[in-house]
Structure 1
Amino acid sequence: MARVVRNSKFRHIFGQAAKKQDCYENIRITKSAWDSTFCSVNPKFLAIITESAGGGAFLVVPLEKMGRIDRDVPLVTGHKAAVLDIAWCPHNDNVIASGSEDCTVKVWQIPDGGLTSNNLTQAAVDLVAHQRRVGQVVWHPSALNVLLSAGGDMKIFIWNVGKATILTTIDCHPEVILSVSWNYSGSRIVTSCKDKIFRIINPRTGHVVKSGMGHQGAKPARAIYLRDGRIFSTGFSRMSERQYALWDGDNLGNALTMEELDSSNGILFPFYDEDTSLIFLCGKGDSTIRYFEYTSEAPYIHYINTYSSSDPQRGMGVMPKRGMNISTCEIARFYKLLNSGLCEVISFTVPRKSELFQEDLYPDTAAEEHAMTADEWMDGKDAEPRLASVRDLNSGTKSHSNNNSGGLGVNNTNQKQEVVFGKSSTNQKTSPTSPQNSSPQKNANGGGTNLLSQGQHADNEFLEKLVEEMRRVKIIVKGHERRIKTLEERLSQYEAPVDDLDD
C-alpha cells in the first residue's frame, strides 16, 4: 500500500546555520551539570550563562554585535554562586530574571545598547525565599510582573516582581521539580517531578487539580502546555529509551500518544510555537533538532524532518516570533551553544517563491503588551496574551519596543508601586537608583537631554525602518514588472503562429 504524504504548509521547512561571522564566538559557556538551556534571547538581546570564578554570571550582548566576544566584556555578576537559569521578560525586552545556586532570584534592568564598560552587580529586584538553589524561572505569559521560580527545596514561589512580594507558595512536590510550564492564559501550571508524576496546579491557590504518572524512566522528564490545554512531554522509558508523549489536560491517566525516539541519554528540551503548532526537540549533547507538527486529531504529533550538524549542543535559546525575519519566511530561529564557546544561529524557513508577506505562515502572535496586572491576575482574572500582526512587529521591532516602554513594560506600575526598573530609554528623571552601573556618566549628564537624544535616535531608527520597507517594496514591484514582461514576451510568441494561420 502506497504511503499517503500528509499535506502541510510546513512539510518543506528546513534549517540552515548562519556563517561564522554572523554567530557569536569566544564565549565562556557555563560548565554546570544542571539541566537547563543556559540561553535566553529576545529581539534585542542574547543572554548566555557563563563560567565564573567566585560567583555566578551571565553575558548579555545586543543581537547586532555578532562575531568574536571580547574576553573582558562586561557581565551581569550579582549572584554569589553559579547561575542556573535565565529568562527574558515577555513584556519588556530590557528586563531579565535569573535563578542561582545562591538560593536567590534576581531581576535585572539591562540598558539599551547592553553593558558597555562595567559589570552589572546590582539587581533591580532581589527575591529571597528559597532555601536551596533556584533552578527555574518562568514569566507569566500575559500578566505583568508575575514571575514563577522553582527551587531545590521542592517549592514553587509565584512572585509579584513590582512589589517584591510572594503571591503564592506551592509546596506539594516530594522530590526535585524538573520542569514548570504555564498554560496559554496563565491560569494553570504543569510540573514534572523526580517522582515521575505530572501535576496540574492552580497557581493562585497551590492546589493540585490533576495528577498522573508520566514517563517511567528514572532520567528527567519535561512537560509543557500546548495552546489548546493539552500537555506535551519528553522523558525516558524503563529501558532508558527517549520518548515524547501527548496528554489530555483533563485526564493524565493515559497518554493520548507516546512514541520512542532513540536510546541516547541526553535530556530532550521541547520548544513549542503556539502560533504554528510546531514542536522542536533539542537533546542535550545531540547534534540534531527534530521538528514536528501538532494537530488536534489523531495521530496528533506528525514528524516533519530533522536538522543535523556535526557539533553537539550544550544549550539552546529560541527567538520569539516578533523577532523573525519575515522577508525570508523564517518561522523559527535557534541559538545553539557549543562546547567550543560558539553560539551558532540556526534559521528555519519555509521556501516560498513570492516575496510578499505570507499571512498563512504568520498568524497574529503575542505582543510585548501585557493583558493584565499582577493584582488583577491574583484576583482571579484570566486573559490570553495580547496579539499583534507579525508584519507590524517585525517592520518596527526596535521602535515598537521603545514606544511601549512607558506603558507596556515592567515599569507600567512604577509610580504606583515605586518600581525602579522600567526601560532605560524612557526612564523618568526620578530614577537615579536604576541599576545601570555600566554607564554612570549617562545619568549624570541630565535626564532631559538623554531623553531628547534617545527620542531622536528612536525616530531615526523608525525612519530608517520605513526607508528599508519602501526599498523592499520597490524590489518586489520591479520583480513583478520583470515577470509580467517575461510573460508578455512568451504570450507574443504564441500569438504569432496563430496570426499566420489566420492569414
Structure 2
Amino acid sequence: MKRVVRQSKFRHVFGQAVKNDQCYDDIRVSRVTWDSTFCSVNPKFVAIIVEASGGGAFLVLPLHKAGRIDKSYPTVCGHTGPVLDIEWCPHNDQVIASGSEDSTVMVWQIPENGLVTSMSEPIVTLEGHSKRVGIVAWHPTARNVLLSAGCDNQIIIWNVGTGEALIYLEDQHPDLIYSVSWNRNGSLICTACKDKAVRVIDPRKNTIVAQNMEEPMGLNEMDTSNGVLLPFYDADCNVVYLCGKGDSSIRYFEITDEAPYIHFLNMFTSKEPQRGMGYMPKRGLDVNKCEIARFFKLHERKCEPVVMTVPRKSDLFQDDLYPDTAGPDPALEAEEWIDGKNGDPTTVSLKNGYVPTKNREMKVVKKNILDSKVTKNAENSCPGNKSASPTPSISEAKLEEILKEIKSLKDLISSQEKRIIKLEDQMSKIAI
C-alpha cells in the first residue's frame, strides 16, 4: 500500500538567514538570566535588551539600520535595574513597554525616525509590583491596556492612558509566573506557573476558567536541550514556531482541528545558539516573496534576521497564504474593555503590501481625586465646551526635581528669616 502523505501548503516552508550585511552587529546582548525573548520587533523598529552599567537599557534600531552598531548608539535607559522584558504596542509602532528588575513598568514613545539621543524619561511609569517585573503583554484589541506579571506572583492590568491599575490578580498563582498570553480578542489570558499548572483566566471576573488540563489533545516529544522553548503562534495560518533558548533551531508545526492536531512541518537549524528571539507581525512581512514569518535571532554580539518562505512559482499575490490579518487599529478603548465589551482584531488586507499609517502621539492623563470636580466645574462654566483638553502629566523624576527645588527655596527663606531676626536684634541694641 502506498503511504498517504498529508497535504499542506506549509510542508515545504524553509528558513533562511539573511546575508551578513543585513544583520545588526556589535550589540552587547543582555546576559541577565531571565527567560523572556529579549527582543521585540514591528514593521518600523527592532528593540533589543542590552548590557548596561548602573541600570537597565535596550536598543531601538530602525529596521533599515543594519550593519555595525556603534558603542555610543543611544539607548532607552530609564530603569534603575536590568530590563527583563520588552514589547511593542500592537496599535502604535512608536510605543514600547518595558518591565524591569526595579519592580516598575515603563512605557516609552520612540521618535518617528528612531533615537538621536539616549532616552531616560518614559511617558508613564507604572508602579504596583513589589518585586521585579518579568513579563509585559499588550492587549491585542483594546487601546492602552497593558498586562504585567512580577516575581511577586501577581498580575496587574493597566490603563496606560491614565497610568492607573484596572485589575489586580493576586491570588491565582502560588508560585512564580513563567509566561502570560492573551487570547485573540483579549477576553481571556493563559498563564504558565512554576507549580506546573496552566491556567486560563477571565481577568475581568478574576476567575479561573480552566486549569490542570490532565490529558493533552496532542503530544509531540522533541529532542531538545534543557533550555526554555519560546513559542510564537501565527493565528492566520495556524502554525506554531518553537525557538529553543540556548538551542540553535526553530521547529514549526501546523495545528489542525482533527486528530492528531499537531503536525511537524520542518526545522531550521544554524550553528549559533540563540539567546533571544523577536517575531515580526504579519503586516511587516514581504508578501511579494511569499514570506510567512520573520524572526530576529539574538546571538551573543549580533541580531540576525531569519526569513521563513513558502516556495511558489507565481509572482501573483497568494491569497491562501495571506488572509486579512490584524492591523494597527484597536477595536476597543480601554474603558469599553473594562466595562465588559470584547472586540475581534481589526483586520487589514496585505494584497498590496502593508502601508503604515501615521501614529498619533500617545497622551497619558494621570487621574486624581480632583479630576471629576475640575471637569464638572469647567463644564458648568463653559456649557458650549463639551470636551476639556487633558493636562499633560509630569513624570515622577520631574516632580521629584520640583519638590527638591521647593524644599531648597523653603530652606533658603528659613535661613534668611533667621538672619533678618538676628540683624533686627542687633539694630535694637544699637538704637538703645
Does TM, scored on the shorter chain, surpass 0.5?
Answer: yes
Paired AA for residue 331 in structure 2: A
Find the partner of 2:357 among 383, 386, 401: 401
**1:181 and 2:141 matched:** no
**Matched residue SS, 2:278:** strand
**Correspondence for 2:148:** 149
Query: 5 Å matches for 1:254-403?
Result: 254-339=215-300, 341-392=301-352, 394-396=353-355, 400-402=356-358
Cα distance, 1:200 vs. partner? 1.1
Cα distance, 1:430 vs. partner? 10
Shift of the 358–431 alpha-carbon distance from structure 1 to 2, 3 Å rule, reads farther
Paired AA for residue 328 in structure 1: K
**Correspondence for 2:384:** none
For residues 393-449 of structure 1, give each alpha carbon's deviation from its aligned partner in whole angstroms, at most 9, with x where no partner exists.
Answer: x242xxx331xx24xx745x879999xxxxxxxxxx9999899xxxxxxxxxxxxxx
Greater mean alpha carbon deviation, residues 1-10 or residues 102-111:
1-10
Aligned 8 A contact 1:93 1:401 in 2: no
For residues 51-76 of structure 1, give each alpha carbon's deviation from its aligned partner in whole angstroms, at most 9, with x where no partner exists.
Answer: 01110000001001111101000000
**Matched residue SS, 1:322:** helix
**Matched residue SS, 2:216:** strand
Aligned 8 A contact 1:92 1:401 in 2: no
For residues 182-227 of structure 1, give each alpha carbon's deviation from its aligned partner in whole angstroms, at most 9, with x where no partner exists.
Answer: 1111111111100011111111132222211xxxxxxxxxxxxxxx
**d(CA) in 1 for partners of 2:277 and 2:247?**
11
Paired AA for residue 37 in structure 2: T
> Percent identity, aligned pairs only?
55
Shift of the 67–256 alpha-carbon distance from structure 1 to 2, 3 Å rule, reads same
Paired AA for residue 22 in structure 1: Q
Shift of the 253–312 alpha-carbon distance from structure 1 to 2, 3 Å rule, reads same
Paired AA for residue 121 in structure 1: S
Paired AA for residue 27 in structure 2: I
Cα distance, 1:3 vs. partner? 2.8
Shift of the 367–414 alpha-carbon distance from structure 1 to 2, 3 Å rule, reads farther
Aligned 8 A contact 2:366 2:393 in 1: no
**1:41 and 2:41 matched:** yes
- Structure 1, gaps ≥5 residues long: 213-251, 419-428, 436-503
Aligned 8 A contact 1:156 1:169 in 2: yes
Paired AA for residue 344 in structure 1: E
**1:84 and 2:40 matched:** no
**d(CA) in 1 for partners of 2:211 and 2:319?**
39
**d(CA) in 2 for partners of 1:167 and 1:432?**
21
Paired AA for residue 339 in structure 2: D
Query: 5 Å matches for 1:201-216?
Result: 201-212=201-212
Cα distance, 1:12 vs. partner? 1.0
Query: 5 Å matches for 1:451-490?
Result: none
**Matched residue SS, 2:217:** strand
Cα distance, 1:253 vs. partner? 3.4
**d(CA) in 2 for partners of 1:187 and 1:56?**
32
Shift of the 395–35 alpha-carbon distance from structure 1 to 2, 3 Å rule, reads closer
**Matched residue SS, 2:115:** coil
**Correspondence for 1:112:** 112
Query: 5 Å matches for 1:404-415?
Result: 405-406=359-360, 410-411=362-363
**d(CA) in 2 for partners of 1:434 and 1:327?**
46
Q: Name the Cα RMSD after superposition.
A: 2.1
**d(CA) in 2 for partners of 1:170 and 1:205?**
10
For residues 22-64 of structure 1, give each alpha carbon's deviation from its aligned partner in whole angstroms, at most 9, with x where no partner exists.
Answer: 1101001000110111000000000000001110000001001
**d(CA) in 1 for partners of 2:366 and 2:315?**
45
**1:98 and 2:59 matched:** no
**d(CA) in 2 for partners of 1:27 and 1:99?**
20
Aligned 8 A contact 1:154 1:174 in 2: yes
Paired AA for residue 382 in structure 1: N
Instruction: Mark the structure with the bigger radius of gyration.
Output: 2
**d(CA) in 2 for partners of 1:73 and 1:197?**
42
Count of aligned positions: 375
Aligned 8 A contact 2:365 2:391 in 1: no
Paired AA for residue 136 in structure 1: I
- Structure 2, gaps ≥5 residues long: 372-388, 396-432
**d(CA) in 2 for partners of 1:365 and 1:137?**
23
